[in-house]
Amino acid sequence: MQKPEPFVKSDTVFSVTDAAALLKGVVETAFPCIRIRGELSQITRASSGHMYMTIKDAGAAISAIIWRGTPVNFRLEDGLEVIITGRLTTYPARSNYQIIVNEIEMAGVGAILKMLEERKRKLAAEGLFDAARKKPLPRFPQRVGVVTSPTGAAFQDIQNRLRERFPVHVVLYPATVQGATAAAEVAAGIEYFNRAKNVDVIIVARGGGALEDLLPFSEEIVVRAAAASEIPLISGVGHEPDWMLIDFAADFRAPTPTGAAETVVPTKLSLIQELDNMWHRLSGNFTTRLANARARMDSISVKNPRQMVMERAQRLDDIGRSMDIIIGAKVQSARQAMQSAATFPNILTTRMATLGQNVAHMGQMLNSLSYKSVLSRGYAIVRDGDNNIISSAETQAVPVSIEFTDGVIQMR
C-alpha cells in the first residue's frame, strides 16, 4: 500500500482532544467501509445488548463492536473465523481504534459445516427430525402454498412445472431467500399458511447458490417452523448435493424447486395411464364375471313340467312306503309291549310268594338266634344293679335280677 502524504504541519500544537478528534476524522474518512477476515476472541455482551469482541490473526488484533439490532445469523464463539464488514473509528477516551460492524458472516466452508453439524445434532436430539413426525403428502392437492422470492427463478420453475403436469391453484408467500432477514421471513411464511389453513401442501423453495447463501434455510427459526407445520411441507432448496437443515425437518425433501413441483402433483399423462389401467382391470373383471354367470346359466337344465310332476309323485310314493314301514314297526313294538303287560299279574304273584317265603325264613332264623329261645330251654340270665349280665363268679357282683323265659325275679 502507498504511504499517504502528511497533511499536518510539524510546528502545529494540538490539544489532546483536538488531536483525538482529528485522528478520528482521518480514520473514519479513510475507512468508511472495510472488510476484515480474522478469528473472534474475547466476546462479551453488555446489558445494553451491544456485543464487544476482538478480531485477530497471527500478527494483530482489532477491537470490534456490534451494536444492538445489527442482524447476526449465527452464534458467535471464540475461535470462529469470520468476515466482518464495517467502518473503522477511534475511541478517544482510551486512545484506541475499533471497527463498528454492520455485517458479519462466517469465513470458510469448514467453519460453516462445523456450525451446521453442531446445530443438526442439537435439533435432532430434540426429535425435530424423527420419521414419526413426517406427514403423508396429499395425492391431489387443490391449493399449493409456496414460500420463496416472487422474483426468483425458483418460483417461475415451480409454476411452469405445475402448469405442465397438473394445473392447481398456487398461493405465494413472498419472502427473501438470502440475507439477514431471509430466515425470519421464510419462517413467517410457513406459520402464515398454518394459521390461514388455505392450502393443502407447502413448498419452501430457493434456487442454487453458495453454501453461505443457503444458510437461512438452516436457521433454527426455519427448522422449528417446518417441524411444527401441521400442513405437509416439501423442502426444495438448492441443488441435489445441497442439504440444508430444513430438509431433515420437512415431510419430504426434493432436490430442486422443480423437483418439489414434480413431487406435489402427478402428471396428466400418468393419471390418464392410471385411469386406463384401472379401466382395463375393471373391464377384465367384469368380462370374467359375465362369462362365469353365462356358464352357470348354461349349466342349468330346465325339465319338462310333466316329468317334474312325475318325479314329485314318485318321491311321495317313496315317502309313503317309508312311512308304512316305520308305522308297522311302531305298531308291532306296541303289541309286544301290551302282551308283556298282560303277563305282569302272574309275574307279580310269583314274586310276592317268593318274598313271603324269604320273610318266613328270616323270621325262623331270627327266633333261632334270639336269647329267648335259650331261656325256653331252662336257662336264666343274672344281672347286677347296672343291668349288666353276670357271666362269671369271679366278678363277685351282687345279683339283682334273674330273668327266666316266663318272667324276671327281683332279688332284694
Last residue of a domain, one of 223, 241, 268: 268
Q: Is residue 27 part of a domain?
A: yes
Q: Is residue 278 part of a domain?
A: no
- Residue-wise pLDDT for 249-274, tens only, equals 999 999 899 999 988 887 666 666 66
Give the domain CATH number at 157: 3.40.50.261
Q: Are 153 and 252 in contact (CB under 8 A)?
A: no
Q: Are 177 and 264 members of one domain?
A: yes
Q: Are 263 and 173 members of one domain?
A: yes
- In our burial notation (b when 16+ CB lie closer than 10 A, e otherwise), range 242-277 reads bbbbbbbbbbbbbbbbbbbbbbbbeeeeeeeeeeee
pLDDT at 226: 93
Burial of 22 (0-12, 13-18, 19+ CB in 10 A): middle
Q: Is the pLDDT of residue 396 over 80?
A: no
Q: Are 57 and 198 members of one domain?
A: no
Cell of 20: 483525538
The full DSSP string for 158-174 is HHHHHHHH---EEEEEE
Q: Is the pLDDT of residue 3 over 70?
A: no
Tally of domains within the chain: 3
| Interatomic CA distance for residues 233 and 301, integer angstroms | 64
Q: Is residue 282 part of a domain?
A: no
Q: Are 95 and 123 members of one domain?
A: no
| From 20-24, 231-235, 261-265, the region with the lowest mean pLDDT | 20-24
Q: Is the pLDDT of residue 382 over 70?
A: yes
Q: Are 127 and 252 members of one domain?
A: yes
Q: Is residue 99 part of a domain?
A: yes
Q: Is residue 361 part of a domain?
A: no
Quote the domain boundaries for residue 35: 16-107
Last residue of a domain, one of 87, 107, 127: 107
pTM check: above 0.75? no
Average pLDDT over every residue of 133-154: 91
Percent of residues, the chain, with pLDDT higher than 70: 92
The residue with cell 394459521 is 195
pLDDT at 58: 83
pLDDT at 363: 78
Closest C-alpha to 204, from 140, 269, 278, 154 = 154
Last residue of a domain, one of 74, 90, 107: 107
Q: Is residue 357 part of a domain?
A: no
Q: Are 74 and 173 members of one domain?
A: no
Q: Are 78 and 150 members of one domain?
A: no
Q: Is residue 62 part of a domain?
A: yes
pLDDT at 108: 66
What's the pLDDT band for 191 if we cut at 50, 70, 90?
A: very high
Q: Are 116 and 100 in contact (CB under 8 A)?
A: no
Q: Are 92 and 52 in contact (CB under 8 A)?
A: no
> Which DSSP letter does residue 389 get?
B
Q: Are 97 and 117 members of one domain?
A: no
Q: Is residue 4 part of a domain?
A: no
Average pLDDT over every residue of 165-186: 89
Top-confidence range, 96-110, 191-205, 267-281, 343-357: 191-205
Q: Are 120 and 217 members of one domain?
A: yes
Top-confidence range, 76-85, 340-349, 391-400: 76-85
Q: Which helix (H) or strand (E) holds 63?
A: strand 61-66
Q: Are 102 and 118 members of one domain?
A: no
Q: Are 257 and 130 members of one domain?
A: yes
Mean pLDDT for the chain overall: 83
Q: Are 157 and 243 members of one domain?
A: yes
The residue with cell 303277563 is 343
Give the domain CATH number at 62: 2.40.50.140
